[in-house]
Amino acid sequence: MATQSTRLSRLATAKSLTIIASLAALGVPAWVYGQTSPCASTEPPPGAQSLGYVHRVFCVEPTLADISNKAASSTAKLSNWIWYSKVPAQMSLFSMSGQVLVIESGGGVATQTHQSLPGALPLLPASTGFYVEFAERLSDNDPDHFPAVWLMPQEHNGQRQDHVAGDPPDYERWMELDVDEGGFNGGHHGAMINWYGTYPQYQHQNSSNDPPSTFGMDRTQEHIFGLSYDPVGKKVTWWVDGAAVGSASTASVPSIVNNYHYYLIMGAQNHGLKHPYKMYLSYFGAWSTGVAPNPPSGVKAETVP
């Protein structure tokens, strides 16, 4: 006969499993409740499955040890010195809260080096398409906070390798993919930006995504922000907590962007008042159609479709 303590233990376990199942049905990640780590499962997320991007290029639960403040480190997963910054972000802006990386306002990291070269993580070729996602939360909901998780092409760099033959000297073309940026509205804000021109007189066409379904978002709770890039369907789709929340056509974007290689950027910015806050990053990951080798030192390895 089961003892009272055994029955209570079984009841607690049953309730716990019921809660976890209910939360899973709502798209709430199980690791929030200590069931497993974010990268433990190899099952592609819905945004990746929707396009058949079933190969996991990488999944990272970032730590302080992953960050390098050197101009070039081919063995580091993250760099706190983005190519357009004159100096690296101070390492004091980064810390750990348990197993979660904390980035304080003013801090930021990228998955390529300051010299616009790959680090330990591969770049994502636009020619084959990709899906990326980030799990993050903030210390509070101040609208001045500007957390940003986004992608840029390696070719848009100090050497202006996004110049297309036949264009005027120093003329550049590139596509920016903003997965999520906080403080623009009451929920998710994403954008696909077609940039072109000669520095510093750049011009752009902005296709924004501000789905009302996400308004009222509590950013102190962890959310999963994702973006898929489909070069065949010529479409960008944004995902929040496992659900598609909007898309934009890339038909008007020059096809040269499909020759580029993308890297990830994560940072805790602000909208002007500089109210301090913390950005908690549980994990980030990328999925594609297959293994994508690093291109040789910025060479555009793929051909334009």
159 vs 286, residue with greater confidence: 286
The rounded percent of the chain whose pLDDT value lies above 70 is 84
Domains of the chain and any CATH numbers: 46-288 (2.60.120.200)
The rounded percent of the chain whose pLDDT value lies above 90 is 75
Return the closest-CA partner of residue 100 out of 16, 37, 186.
37
**Chain segment 7-39, per-residue pLDDT in tens:** 333 434 334 434 434 444 444 454 444 447 889
Per DSSP, the residues of the chain read ---HHHHHHHHHHHHHHHHHHHHHHTT--GGGGTSS-TTS--PPPHHHHTTT--EEEEEE---GGGEE-SS--TT-SEES--TT-SSPPPGGGEEEETTEEEEETT-EEESB-TTS-B-SSPPEETTT-EEEEEEEEES---TTEEEEEEEEETTSSTT-TT--TTSPTTEEEEEEEEEEESSSSSS--EEEEEEEEETTEEEEEEEEE--GGGTT--TTS-EEEEEEEETTTTEEEEEETTEEEEEEE-TTS-GGGGG-EEEEEEEEEESSS----EEEEEEEEEEESS--PPPSTT---SPP-
For the cut 60, the answer to whether the pLDDT of residue 233 exceeds it is yes
For the cut 70, the answer to whether the pLDDT of residue 275 exceeds it is yes
The pLDDT of residue 294: 53
Confidence band, pLDDT 50/70/90 cuts, at residue 1: very low
For the cut 70, the answer to whether the pLDDT of residue 40 exceeds it is yes
The pLDDT of residue 37: 85
Q: Which of 117-121, 144-148, 201-205, 294-298 has the lowest mean pLDDT?
A: 294-298
The pLDDT of residue 167: 94
The pLDDT of residue 174: 97
Q: Which of 89-103, 109-123, 258-272 has the lowest mean pLDDT?
A: 109-123
For the cut 90, the answer to whether the pLDDT of residue 2 exceeds it is no
The pLDDT of residue 293: 53
The pLDDT of residue 266: 98
Looking at every residue in the chain, the average pLDDT score rounds to 87
The pLDDT of residue 295: 54
Confidence band, pLDDT 50/70/90 cuts, at residue 71: confident
Pairing status of strand 94-97 against strand 223-230: unpaired
Pairing status of strand 78-79 against strand 55-60: unpaired
> pTM for the complete prediction?
0.86
